Amino acid sequence: QKEVEQDPGPLSVPEGAIVSLNCTYSNSAFQYFMWYRQYSRKGPELLMYTYSSGNKEDGRFTAQVDKSSKYISLFIRDSQPSDSATYLCAMDSSYKLIFGSGTRLLVRP
């Protein structure tokens, strides 16, 4: 079993929809939870990160962590075609990151 699981998608939504992207994990020692966005044929870039449980909001993006369920989510409000990308969750492990395999998102105009 992988330490971090993520549905590969693709997830296809119409422009303006609310998008929910999720990861589950098995290691209860994880404390920091990151979301990276990767456009096609580019390197990933950090979107946001949260520490421990709770919510964090940044513009149209909200990251949510539920440590009791070992479940994290990224919500995108008012999704735009420019949000079409692969979203990777990542978690801390001894000063290194463990990445999920990524969920491909397509926002249709």
Partner 1 sequence: NAGVTQTPKFQVLKTGQSMTLQCAQDMNHNSMYWYRQDPGMGLRLIYYSASEGTTDKGEVPNGYNVSRLNKREFSLRLESAAPSQTSVYFCASSKGVGQDSYEQYFGPGTRLTVT
Chain residues in the site for partner 1 (CB under 8 A): 4, 6, 8, 32, 34, 41-46, 49, 88, 90, 92, 95-97, 99-102
Least separation, in Å, of the C-beta of 95 and partner 1? Answer: 4
**3-class DSSP state for residue 25?**
strand
Q: Could you tell me how far CA 98 lies from the centroid of its own chain?
A: 13
- Of 30 and 76, nearer to partner 1 (C-beta) is 30
Query: Which of 35, 22, 14 is CA-nearest to residue 81?
Result: 14
Q: What angle do CA 26, 32, 36 make, to 5 degrees?
A: 95
- Of 44 and 83, nearer to partner 1 (C-beta) is 44
- Report how far residue 91's alpha carbon sits from residue 33's, in angstroms, rounded to the nearest whole number: 5
- Of 45 and 57, nearer to partner 1 (C-beta) is 45
* Assigned token pair, 96: 């290194």
Least separation, in Å, of the C-beta of 90 and partner 1? Answer: 8
- Of 17 and 38, nearer to partner 1 (C-beta) is 38
Least separation, in Å, of the C-beta of 81 and partner 1? Answer: 22
Q: 64 - beta bridge partners?
A: 55, 73
Least separation, in Å, of the C-beta of 73 and partner 1? Answer: 18
